[in-house]
Structure 1
Amino acid sequence: MNDIYQAVTDRIIASLETGTPPWIIPWTDHTALPSNLATGKPYRGINILMLSIEAMSRGYGDSRWVTLKQANELGAKVRKGEHGTSIVFFKFKEVEEEKDNGFTEASEEPKRVVPMLRSYTVFNTSQLEFLPERFELRGTPAWQPIGEAEQLLYASGAVIRHGGNRAFYSPSEDMIRLPPPAWFPDSDDYYAVALHELTHWTGHPQRLNRMLGKRHGIDAYAYEELVAEMGAAFLCAYCGLPARLEHASYIDHWLDALKRDKRLIFVAAGAAQKAADYALGVAQVAPSPADALAA
C-alpha cells in the first residue's frame, strides 16, 4: 500500500456504500472479536473493521487469523491460491528537528516521536489446511451472551432507567434511558441498544471526556454516533451478541466526511476502542450482581 490511510478508508467507504457497516461483526463461531490464532489476542480498533469487511466479502465464519509464518509454525499451510488480508499497526520512530539551514544537528533535547503506519498480511483460519485438530472449532460457547451483557451493564455502575419509547444517554443527568425490555423484539436487541448507550456514557467528562465539537470536518453528533456505533459493536462482539446498526440516518454524513478526510476512521475507531476498553475495564474490577446480593 502506497497510502495505507487512503487504502483503508476506501475499503470502509465501499462497505458503507453497500449499506452494511463493517462494524456489524459477521462471526458465527462465537469467539467474539477477531483474534490471532497463535497468540489468542484479539485485534483492536481499525483492524477489527478491516477483518470484518474481509470476512463478509469472502464469507468467513471463523474469527481467527494468522500470519504466514505463524501458520507454518503451528504446522498448518495456507492453501494454494489463497490471498491474505492487509491489516495495520503503528511503528513509532524518533526524529530530530531540522534546523533552518536544512541540516539536522545532534542535540541533547528529547527527540520527537512520530507514529508511522505500517501494514502486514494475515490469513483467516478458513484459508488453512493441515491445521492441527486442537485448533478446530467445536461445541458451543461456555459463556451466556445475555449474562455477559447484563454483567457488563451492571458492573459499569451506569444509572439506567426504563420508561418511555426512546433510548438515549443524557449527559446532563449522566443517565441512560431505555424503553422497557419487553418492548424490544428480543433480548439481543435490548442489549445491543443498551451497549450503544453505554458507549455514549463512557464519553462523560468524569470518564473519557470525549469532547463534542466539529471533528475532522464532521458534525459533532455524527462523529459521536460513529464512535458509539463501533464501540457498541466491539462490546457486543465481546459478549457474543450480534451488533446492529442504530443510526442508519448518519451513513451519508459518515461517507461524506470519510471521503474528505482519510484519517477520520482511524481516529474514530481509536476512540471506540478506548470506550470499549473503559467499559470492560470497569466491569473486570466490579462485583457481579450475584456477588453484590451475597455481600
Structure 2
Amino acid sequence: MKKQARPAAQNTARPDVYQLVTDRVIEALEAGQIAWRKPWHAAYGLPRNYVSGRAYTGINAFLLHLVGGTPFFLTFRQAKELGGNIRKGAKGMPVIYYNVTTRTRTDKQTGEEEKTPFIKYYTVFSVDDVEGVEIVLPEQPQDRNHEPLAAAEALVTNWATCPRIEHGGTQAFYAPGPDFVQVPRPETFISGEAYYSTLFHELTHATGHASRLDRPDLAEALRPSGRAGYAREELTAEMGAAFLCGHAGLNPSATLENTAAYLQFWLEQLRGDKKLVVQAASRAQRAAELILGRPAPEDTEPDPQPTPASPAPAAVVVASEHAQPACCGETGAIPSRPVLPTLPPVILGQETLPSLTTVVVATQRIELTRLLEHPAFTDEQRRTATGRILAETDPARLGRWLTNIMQRVAEWEDQTLAEEARQNPRPYPLDEC
C-alpha cells in the first residue's frame, strides 16, 4: 500500500507581539506621526470597545488612536454577532493584553508557586469598517462649562503625594534626590497647554520616586551608562503627560513639533529595543493612575512595583523668588500657579519642546561621560567633571564642554603619537613597508 505524502509542515511559531507593536509605532514615526502625542478623541475620550464600552489603556490607547476616525472598535467575531461584517480590505489593529500560564512553577528562593506572565494580542477593527449593521454611537457630551486649564490645575492640586514644585529659570526638570520639580514660570510659556503638558511630563518622572512607584528606569536613567533606562523613562514621561492632558481635556499638540532630530532619536531607540514602547506605555498608565488617584487597569504590564510604606508629605508649591506654600491636598482656591486663559508670546525659544531639550541634554551627557574615560584625564578630573555634567541642564553649555573635551582628547593623542615617533623612529620609509 502506497503511503500518503505528509502535508507540508505549517509555521506554528507565535508572532512576536512586542515586535508587532513596535513595527506599527515605527511606521507611524517614519510617516512623521508621533504615536504617543494624543491617545484620546476630542469628543469621546479614550478609544473603546463598541460592544462592551470598555476603554483601551496603555499602548492600546496610542495604537488605536493612530487609526483616526470614530474611536470605537470591535473584533471580527463581535461584528458577526451583531449581524454585520468587516469591510473587505479593512486594516485591523492589534490590542495587546497580559495573561499567565496555566502551569505553575516553584520559586527556588521563596518556595512559593507562581505563574509566568506573557503577552498576547487580538485584532480589532474600527466601527467605520463595519458593514451590514447600523452602528449607533453614544451621544457626545455637551459640557460647555468645562475649563481644561482649571481641570489641569485641579489635577495637580488634588494629587496627595505630589512633590514640591518650584518655578523659575529656563529649564524644566525633576530632581529625584531632593524630590522636587522645577519648571519655568507659567507666563513664559506660549500657552497654558504648553505649561501643563511640560509640568505633567516632569510629574510623571516624579511618580518613579522610591516613595511612590519606585520605578527602576528612573534610577537607571541617572547613571552615566543608563541609556536604555533613560529612553524608557523619557518615553514613559511623554506618554504619562499625554494621558494626563487627555484627562484634563487639554490639547497639547501645538506644543510638539515633528522635528527631524526628535523623530530620529526615537526611531533609533525603538529599533534597538522592541519592548521599549510597550513597557513605557504600561508604566505611563500606572503613573497617570497614581496621579489621578485611581487603581491601575488590569491590562498593564505585570511588572510588580513596590508600594510606598507610608504616604509622602503633601506637596508645597514654591515660587523661586517669593515662597508661597500651598498644599496640593487642599481644595478651594488654586495655589500660586495661576489659571492661564491668555498668555504673552513665548520667550523661552526652544523650551516650547522641553522633551526634545531633555533628549539633547541626555545625549550630550552620555557622550561627555564616554569621552572622560579617555586616558587623557585623571580619575580626579573624571569625578569632578562627571558631577558638573550630571548637574548641568543647559544644552548650550554642555555643547561647549563637549567641544573642549574633544579638543583636549585630540591634543593628547597628537602629543602621544609624536612622543612615540621620537622614541621609536622607523628604520625605513613608511611607503616601503
Does TM, scored on the shorter chain, surpass 0.5? yes
Residues 197, 228 of structure 1: 8 Å contact kept = yes
1:221 paired with 2:210, answer no
1:175 paired with 2:180, answer yes
Match of 1:66 among 69, 74, 96: 74
CA-CA distance at 1:142 after TM superposition: 6.6
Task: State the AA in 2 paired with 1:290.
Answer: G
Task: State the AA in 2 paired with 1:277.
Answer: E
CA-CA distance at 1:172 after TM superposition: 2.5
Whole-angstrom CA distance in 1 between matches of 2:195 and 2:97: 34
Task: State the AA in 2 paired with 1:222.
Answer: A
Match of 2:289 among 277, 285, 288: 277
- Superposed counterparts of 1:158-237, under 5 Å: 158-211=163-216, 212-213=219-220, 218-237=227-246
Task: State the AA in 2 paired with 1:167.
Answer: A
- Aligned residue for 1:206, secondary structure, equals coil
Residues 16, 251 of structure 1: 8 Å contact kept = yes
Task: State the AA in 1 paired with 2:170.
Answer: N
- Superposed counterparts of 1:30-179, under 5 Å: 30-53=43-66, 55=67, 60-71=68-79, 77-78=84-85, 80-81=87-88, 82-95=90-103, 111-128=113-130, 130-131=133-134, 133=136, 135-137=138-140, 139=142, 143-156=146-159, 157-179=162-184
**Greater C-alpha Rg:** 2
Partner of 1:289: 331
- RMSD (CA atoms): 3.4
- Aligned residue for 2:220, secondary structure, equals coil
CA-CA distance at 1:120 after TM superposition: 1.2
Whole-angstrom CA distance in 2 between matches of 1:253 and 1:83: 28
Task: State the AA in 1 paired with 2:220.
Answer: G
CA-CA distance at 1:32 after TM superposition: 2.5
Whole-angstrom CA distance in 1 between matches of 2:60 and 2:42: 19
- Against the structure 1 CA distance between its residues 279 and 120, is the aligned structure 2 distance closer, same or farther, given a 3 Å change threshold? same
Whole-angstrom CA distance in 1 between matches of 2:140 and 2:203: 31
- Superposed counterparts of 1:254-269, under 5 Å: 254-269=266-281
CA-CA distance at 1:154 after TM superposition: 0.7
- For residues 168-204 of structure 1, give each alpha carbon's deviation from its aligned partner in whole angstroms, at most 9, with x where no partner exists: 2222232222222222222111111111111111111
Whole-angstrom CA distance in 1 between matches of 2:281 and 2:39: 18
Whole-angstrom CA distance in 2 between matches of 1:122 and 1:258: 24
Task: State the AA in 1 paired with 2:231.
Answer: A
CA-CA distance at 1:24 after TM superposition: 1.0
Comparing 208-217 and 87-96, the one that deviates more:
208-217
Residues 34, 51 of structure 1: 8 Å contact kept = yes
Residues 50, 74 of structure 2: 8 Å contact kept = yes
- Against the structure 1 CA distance between its residues 70 and 222, is the aligned structure 2 distance closer, same or farther, given a 3 Å change threshold? same
CA-CA distance at 1:38 after TM superposition: 3.0
- Aligned residue for 2:277, secondary structure, equals helix
TM-score, reference length from structure 2: 0.55
Number of equivalent positions: 275
- Against the structure 1 CA distance between its residues 268 and 110, is the aligned structure 2 distance closer, same or farther, given a 3 Å change threshold? same
CA-CA distance at 1:241 after TM superposition: 1.8
- Aligned residue for 2:279, secondary structure, equals helix
- Aligned residue for 1:6, secondary structure, equals helix
Task: State the AA in 1 paired with 2:95.
Answer: I
- Aligned residue for 1:277, secondary structure, equals helix
- Against the structure 1 CA distance between its residues 28 and 208, is the aligned structure 2 distance closer, same or farther, given a 3 Å change threshold? closer
- Against the structure 1 CA distance between its residues 217 and 69, is the aligned structure 2 distance closer, same or farther, given a 3 Å change threshold? farther
Match of 2:33 among 8, 16, 20: 20
Comparing 137-146 and 250-259, the one that deviates more:
137-146
Whole-angstrom CA distance in 2 between matches of 1:282 and 1:122: 27
- Aligned residue for 1:188, secondary structure, equals helix
Residues 29, 63 of structure 1: 8 Å contact kept = no
Whole-angstrom CA distance in 2 between matches of 1:41 and 1:256: 34
Whole-angstrom CA distance in 2 between matches of 1:61 and 1:45: 20
- Aligned residue for 1:213, secondary structure, equals helix
Whole-angstrom CA distance in 2 between matches of 1:201 and 1:247: 26
Query: What is the percentage of aligned positions where both structures have the same residue?
Result: 36
Comparing 44-53 and 208-217, the one that deviates more:
208-217
- Alignment gaps of 5+ in structure 2: 1-13, 296-327, 336-433
CA-CA distance at 1:291 after TM superposition: 8.4
